[in-house]
Amino acid sequence: MKDRYPRIDVDLGKLRDNIDNIVRICRAHKVEVAGVIKGFSGLVECVRQYDDSECSFIASSRLDQLRNLKAQGIRKPLMMIRIPMLSEAKEVVEVTDMSLNSEIEVLRELDHQAGMCGKKHKILLMIDLGDLREGFWGSKELIDAALCVENDMENLELSGVGTNLGCYGAIDATVEKMEELVKAAEQVERAIGRRLRYISGGATTSLPRILENDMPKRVNLLRIGEGIILSQHMCEFLGYDMEYMHRDVFTLKAEVIEIKDKPTKPVGKIVCDCFGRVPVYEDHGIRKRTLLGVGRVDYAFPEDLTPLTDGVKILGASSDHTILDIEDAKDDVFIGAIIGFKVTYSTIVYLTNSRNVVINYLDVRSQA
């Protein structure tokens, strides 16, 4: 398997270090972590690292991933973090322990299905604080739903309230937003007359509140995906110095299939490319370029890849080819050579979903 390409190398030891680091930092602030595993398509070898860690839940937006994990013997409580479809309510209660919700109709169905299989299913009710993806709009709607779950749905357990920020609306998880969340949760608590187990303050984009030590005390659960597996958002976009996080858990490796000296500007009348776009090319004369046997079908966006060989530049990609300028490459490039790439969160999702890509697990600890 190791000799087949394209492949993605996954360093399980580094993944485990990253999980442990984020869980430790959050725990020091009395915040539990739900490890979000959708970013690598729920690969079970990776999820075992979470299962053996101190995180509280294993979470995904995809029910099929959670179903597979349960079948593979993953022991931690499973959390469905995309609000469930009405049509999957039965499976949600069968497979998972907790789900995030924002529709009464779906909650009724979850309650019914939980009753049918004799289970108690836990619920976090989502409030939308302005990011405009899922969640009840305004605390009145949230409180009404909470009362309904608490009083009328005997197979559901209202575990808490949560929010999601920094997704569709790119809204910052500020202290004010977190305080707004706590305020809504406390209104729910007054209405139902008891304390909620969880107040879930969001995803990786809420980690700055932990690092800045200004997360409101009552927020006690975060759902962390990208911050564990890549940490690009915190380290590169926000500029936090987290040198203890491994930035190279996942690496793409692809094979050189052609090397030629060619013009930089296509020769002939330019119409549109294979994706219907009319491209513009600059003429830099004849340069050495290479083709790799990996393409957009595998990773979607060539601009999200960074070559690990100095001097190599990505010129573009078609469905099954990646085109590189290697005129200034610092390493020797030859037919059959393997070129490595640093990847982003979205490339990891695509690569781990592509049937063409071999997944190769490394455990550097055993080599160290």
Ligand X SMILES: *Cc1c(COP(=O)(O)O)cnc(C)c1O
Shortest distance in whole angstroms from residue 259 CB to ligand X: 38
Q: Which is nearer to ligand X, 100 or 329 (CB)?
A: 100
Shortest distance in whole angstroms from residue 297 CB to ligand X: 23
Q: Any alpha helices (H) in the chain, and if so which ranges? A: 12-28, 44-51, 63-71, 89-95, 104-116, 139-152, 175-192, 207-211, 226-229, 232, 296-299, 345-353, 364-367
- Out of 10, 36, 143, 153, name the contact with ligand X by CB under 6 A: 36
| Interacting span for ligand X (CB under 6 A) from 224-232, 276-284, 304-312, 359-367 | 224-232
Report cis status (omega within 30 of 0) of the bond before 6.
yes
Cα torsion angle, 186, 191, 195, 201, sign? negative
**Cβ(166)–Cβ(172) below 8 Å:** yes
Q: Which of 2, 30, 38, 70 is catalytic?
A: 38
- Out of 84, 135, 160, 227, name the contact with ligand X by CB under 6 A: 227
SS3 state of residue 44: helix
Q: Which is nearer to ligand X, 262 or 342 (CB)?
A: 342
Shortest distance in whole angstroms from residue 73 CB to ligand X: 24
**Cβ(66)–Cβ(55) below 8 Å:** no
Residue type, 358: V
Q: Which is nearer to ligand X, 12 or 34 (CB)?
A: 34
Residue whose CB is nearest to ligand X in the complex, by number: 225
**Cβ(293)–Cβ(254) below 8 Å:** yes
> Residue 320: which of 362, 281, 283, 355 has the closest Cα?
355
- Asked if 203 interacts with ligand X (CB under 6 A), we say yes
- Asked if 7 interacts with ligand X (CB under 6 A), we say no
- Out of 7, 67, 223, 253, name the contact with ligand X by CB under 6 A: 223
C-beta neighbour count of 295 within 10 angstroms: 21
Output phi, psi for 286, to 5 deg: -80, 130
- Asked if 41 interacts with ligand X (CB under 6 A), we say no
- Asked if 35 interacts with ligand X (CB under 6 A), we say no
Which of positions 339-358 make contact with ligand X (CB under 6 A)?
A: none
- Asked if 164 interacts with ligand X (CB under 6 A), we say yes
Structure tokens belonging to residue 366: 């055993």
Binding-residue total with ligand X (CB under 6 A): 15
Whether 260 sits among the annotated catalytic residues: the reply is no
- Asked if 225 interacts with ligand X (CB under 6 A), we say yes
Cα dihedral value 250, 81, 129, 204, nearest 10: -20
| Interacting span for ligand X (CB under 6 A) from 6-14, 36-44, 143-151, 328-336 | 36-44
Q: Which is nearer to ligand X, 46 or 312 (CB)?
A: 46
- Out of 13, 39, 201, 295, name the contact with ligand X by CB under 6 A: 39
Shortest distance in whole angstroms from residue 39 CB to ligand X: 6
| Interacting span for ligand X (CB under 6 A) from 31-39, 50-58, 210-218, 264-272 | 31-39
Q: Which is nearer to ligand X, 37 or 292 (CB)?
A: 37
Which of positions 242-301 make contact with ligand X (CB under 6 A)?
A: none
Cα–Cα distance list, 200 to 123, 126, 162, 179, 331 (Å): 12, 9, 4, 12, 47
Alpha carbon 322 to chain centroid, angstroms: 25
* Residues binding ligand X (CB under 6 A): 36, 38-39, 61, 81-82, 100, 164, 203-204, 223-227
| Catalytic residue IDs | 38
